[in-house]
């Protein structure tokens, strides 16, 4: 690739001037005139009363320096792959027989999503578990997200390119065999890794998958089981009423970028709305589903790194790549690589479905060989919402593949 293979230590050090600027911008937010109906519920977006309260806490109560110090207790690194700096956590287990496991987050997220699972997965002995279930964890920031910023050239929204970079990262770390876990966008990367690095990937565990591409037809509910019908109804509602963010990011990311990069309240609302819509339906507010400080740590990283803009461009490029692939397949001209990018190709695949998910087994899994788990709590961010369930399912799936 022409890059140095050097792996460089990384430490988060947000300048105080950036922190002061964030707080001043939040205090000077130009709030819109309030239409009473807009504050009654979430049907028109994030209610202003909720967002004002959360923004006030972000400016006055949230302790970024404490979160930064805790993140810096984890071993972090940067390496240059295909011309781009990739940031990642690399937390080795004390157990010599631990299986390397690559965890990939989705949108709108970062490696912060996985903080609650790192200890139990790397050191189960210290958390009341079986040391034979231990993993060495590699947790990269997707290009354009977190500290894998800034992005200097187009093309990193193509998940095939990201998967190639992840395969190279695991080679540089010396892992001849490893497992993969991904959620949302990370699930797409994980599926492609299973195809391009099949000889080294022991298995793939997915969360945050969808029943079909959002721009495809609605799910036909006829003949579905009760559980799948419920998920299909949620998917169809999402497709009809919840795709505004995706249309904007997939078509006009630069126009959106100005607002996300200039207004922390705007960036906060953009992310918090998704945490409200995609987390456990039994919870009323985003910070009922996930820890408020963990949520704001994730939002803060988006703000400090400008990842709101660059992740929107990644969505745009990813959708362009998907449309091109879909057109080729429709014409019968898809490459073998593209045709085998589904979850059933290559190494064994496992899927965990949580309470807020829209994944339908009969549409995702045409066979009976897939490891499948369904849970009655949690949602799109299981490592934050229900880490115990995710940890247990990851251990169960990979326990058979060691």
The reported pLDDT for the residue numbered 341 is 41
% of the chain at pLDDT higher than 70? 94
Task: Please say if the pLDDT value at position 117 is more than 60.
Answer: yes
Residues 159-166, mean pLDDT to the nearest whole number: 97
**Nearest of 287, 302, 274, 264 to residue 31 by alpha carbon:** 264
Burial 213-243 (b: 16+ CB within 10 A, else e): ebeeeebeeeebeeebeebbebbbebbeebe
Q: What is the pLDDT of residues 218-277, one digit of tens each?
A: 899 998 999 899 999 999 999 999 999 999 999 999 999 999 999 999 999 999 999 999
Whole-angstrom Cα distance, residue 222 to residue 395? 35
Whole-angstrom Cα distance, residue 360 to residue 96? 38
Enumerate residues 6+ apart whose C-beta is below 8 A from 161. 82, 155
Helix (H, G, I), strand (E, B) or coil at 241: helix
* Whether the Cβ atoms of residue 375 and residue 354 lie closer than 8 Å to each other: yes
The reported pLDDT for the residue numbered 367 is 58
Residues 312-341, mean pLDDT to the nearest whole number: 73
Helix (H, G, I), strand (E, B) or coil at 278: helix
The reported pLDDT for the residue numbered 79 is 98
* Whether the Cβ atoms of residue 302 and residue 265 lie closer than 8 Å to each other: no
Lowest-pLDDT choice from 96-105, 245-254, 325-334: 325-334
Q: What is the pLDDT of residues 276-294, one digit of tens each?
A: 999 999 999 999 999 999 9
> How many CA atoms lie within 13 Å of 171's alpha carbon, on the beta-carbon side?
11
The reported pLDDT for the residue numbered 11 is 98
The reported pLDDT for the residue numbered 352 is 95
Task: Please say if the pLDDT value at position 104 is more than 80.
Answer: yes
Q: What is the pLDDT of residues 364-381, one digit of tens each?
A: 765 555 799 999 999 999
342 against 351, higher pLDDT: 351
Task: Please say if the pLDDT value at position 390 is more than 70.
Answer: yes
Average pLDDT of the chain, as a whole number? 92
The reported pLDDT for the residue numbered 370 is 77
pLDDT-based confidence at residue 336 (cuts at 50, 70, 90): very low
Residues 178-207, mean pLDDT to the nearest whole number: 96
- The set of long-range contacts for 301-305, using a CB threshold of 8 Å and a minimum separation of 24, is 301/110, 301/112, 301/146, 301/147, 302/108, 302/110, 302/267, 302/271, 303/22, 303/264, 303/267, 304/14, 304/18, 304/22, 305/146, 305/147, 305/149, 305/150
pLDDT-based confidence at residue 335 (cuts at 50, 70, 90): very low
């Amino acid at each position: 690739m022409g890059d140095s293979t050097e792996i460089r230590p990384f430490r988060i050090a947000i300048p105080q001037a950036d922190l002061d600027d964030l707080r001043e911008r939040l205090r000077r937010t130009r709030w819109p005139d309030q239409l009473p109906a807009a504050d009654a519920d979430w049907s028109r977006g994030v209610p202003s009363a909720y967002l004002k309260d959360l923004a006030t806490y972000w400016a006055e109560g949230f302790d970024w320096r404490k979160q930064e110090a805790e993140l810096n207790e984890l071993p972090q690194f940067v390496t240059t792959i295909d011309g781009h700096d990739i940031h990642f956590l690399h937390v080795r287990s004390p157990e010599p027989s631990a299986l390397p496991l690559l965890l990939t987050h989705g949108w709108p997220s970062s490696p912060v999503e996985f903080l609650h699972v790192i200890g139990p997965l790397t050191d189960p002995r210290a958390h009341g578990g079986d040391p034979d279930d231990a993993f060495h964890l590699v947790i990269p920031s997707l290009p354009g997200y977190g500290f894998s910023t800034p992005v200097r050239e187009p093309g990193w929204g193509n998940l095939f390119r990201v998967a190639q970079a992840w395969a190279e990262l695991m080679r540089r770390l010396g892992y001849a065999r490893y497992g993969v876990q991904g959620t949302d966008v990370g699930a797409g990367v994980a599926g492609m890794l299973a195809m391009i690095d099949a000889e080294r990937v022991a298995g793939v565990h997915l969360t945050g998958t969808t029943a079909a591409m959002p721009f495809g037809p609605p799910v036909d509910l006829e003949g579905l089981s009760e559980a799948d019908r419920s998920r299909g109804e949620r998917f169809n509602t999402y497709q009809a009423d919840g795709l505004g963010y995706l249309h904007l990011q997939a078509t006009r990311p630069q126009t959106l970028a100005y607002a996300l990069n200039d207004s922390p309240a705007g960036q906060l609302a953009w992310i918090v709305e998704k945490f409200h819509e995609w987390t456990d339906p039994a919870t009323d507010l985003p910070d009922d589903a996930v820890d408020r400080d963990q949520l704001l740590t994730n939002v803060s990283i988006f703000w400090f790194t400008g990842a709101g803009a660059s992740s929107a461009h990644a969505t745009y490029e990813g959708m362009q790549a998907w449309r091109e692939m879909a057109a080729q397949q429709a014409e019968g001209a898809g490459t073998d690589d593209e045709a085998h990018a589904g979850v059933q190709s290559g190494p064994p695949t496992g899927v965990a479905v949580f309470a807020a998910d829209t994944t339908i087994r009969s549409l995702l899994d045409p066979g009976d060989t897939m490891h499948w788990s369904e849970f009655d709590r949690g949602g799109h961010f299981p490592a934050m919402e229900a880490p115990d369930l995710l940890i247990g399912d990851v251990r169960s799936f990979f326990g058979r593949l060691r």
